[in-house]
Amino acid sequence: MAQAEWRRVEELLEQSMAIEPARRPAFLEQACAGDEGLRREVESLLAYEGRVEQFMPTPALDMLSGGIASEPARFPEAQEVGPYRIVALIGRGGMGEVYQARDTRLDRDVALKFLPAHYVDTPDAVVRFRREAQAISSLNHPNICTLYDLGEHEGQPFLVMERIEGESLKQRLAGGALAVGEALSITSQVCDALEAAHTKGVVHRDIKPANIFITSRGPVKILDFGLAKLRSEPQPAPEATLDSAASPHESTITTLGRAMGTASYMSPEQARGEDVDARSDLFSLGVVLYHVTTGTRPFEGDTPAKTVEAILASKPVPPRLRNSAIPVKLERIILKALEKDRAVRYQTAGELRADLERLRMPASWRGRWLLAVAVLLLSLGVTLAAMRLGWIGAPSTTPDLKVRQVTNNPPEDPIPRASISPDGASLAYVDLTGLHVRRIDTGETTSFPPPENCCFR
């Protein structure tokens, strides 16, 4: 749909939502002037009133994937913003403008994220912006973009974040589906980051390729917590607005003051406008995993509203029908993550990561590991059997025996009797000359002659 047509949809939707529901059909019949396609589009959006109300063109940090709008940068090159010197505008999205800047105190590159100018005076947008800072500041993880500071310049709040180089997963997907190994590595790292966030009570609510960044050094980082929900945050009443529209897949669907997510990556509970928990992020990550392994999204429609309808009512095409290279076990993981009932979906990011890691282990290593375990068990069994049979066990306590000649009597004077003392130190023996007690170690001998008229024979 052309931009002019979307603006017409926007205008009619705003006007319709200002009218009580009973009067809307008559208003649309007159306003659409016989254009049934236009009327159906507006009516499909109205059908989701209270849950799919605002369409924003891009996420706050989708700055490296779609180019920069033609409007001039709000802050020119070399302008000082506190201790930061502006280098260049590097991205502009629906809820943020991001600039590369130089921290003049620490002499390092940083990224400054500002609210768009038209949101600066919007209290709900400012609250959401500060909430992003609160969400990120509670997290310290190598797979989450680091927040350095929160500042304000001429009444405009801004975030100071680490400057990262690389490309978004959305950009990487421009070349089609990824190899299974790469897809598993990226998804596993995102799981690790989500586990850290969920442990702190932070639900991202907008997991999608544009918010997953692959750094030039390799690690993956999650961006844009602008739509995050904190554990302590109440569920506010919705206030419907419509900003503008992009593609039906990339449009961010939200309620002002309560972010919902991006059309193709929302969980069913997000689409229904329900309160969400960590399992919603896991559904969105399941959509991402489906996308990176097949090259297509599991739920698609001509408009954001139809995409949401597909999420709520349609089953995804089995991934292996779209890419036969996907292992059967991976297909099961993806489909479990995409369960519409969150009670049977993956319950934690750690659970999903464990399944992915088991699949990532190369088959050769799995075989070696199983062989090593089998050999170990066999060796243990043989050892236990040998101990039971007495073949091996505790070492013998019998001392080493040494042959030593203690006496040296001639044949004509034999020794008829002899005995070793209990301590093994002495030898007592008799011969024709009497009774003798000899120390075995030294040969020292004490002799006792036989009684008179007695002979030892």
Residues with catalytic roles: 206
Q: For 217, how many CA atoms within 13 A lie in the half-sphere containing its CB?
A: 7
| C-alpha span between 425 and 407 (Å, rounded) | 14
CB 136 within 8 A of CB 119: no
Residue 331's nearest CA partner among 322, 344, 318, 343 is 318
| Amino acid at site 398 | T
Taking each continuous run of H as one helix and of E as one strand, the counts in the chain are: 13, 18
Residues paired with 161 in a beta bridge:
111, 147
Distances (CA, A) of 89 to 63, 64, 113, 171: 10, 11, 10, 19
Contact 295, 177 (CB under 8 A): yes
Tokens of residue 128, six digits:
């959401």
Q: How far is CA 115 from CA 57, 90, 131, 203, 368, in A?
A: 15, 14, 13, 21, 54
The rounded distance, in Å, linking the Cα atoms of 200 and 152 is 26
Q: Is 153 helix (H, G, I), strand (E, B) or coil?
A: strand
CA 49 to chain centre: 34
> What 3-state DSSP class applies to 268?
helix
Burial status of residue 243 (CB atoms within 10 A of its CB: 0-12, 13-18, 19 or more): middle
Q: Rounded to whole angstroms, what are the CA distances from 436 to 34, 416, 417, 430, 439?
A: 138, 12, 11, 6, 10
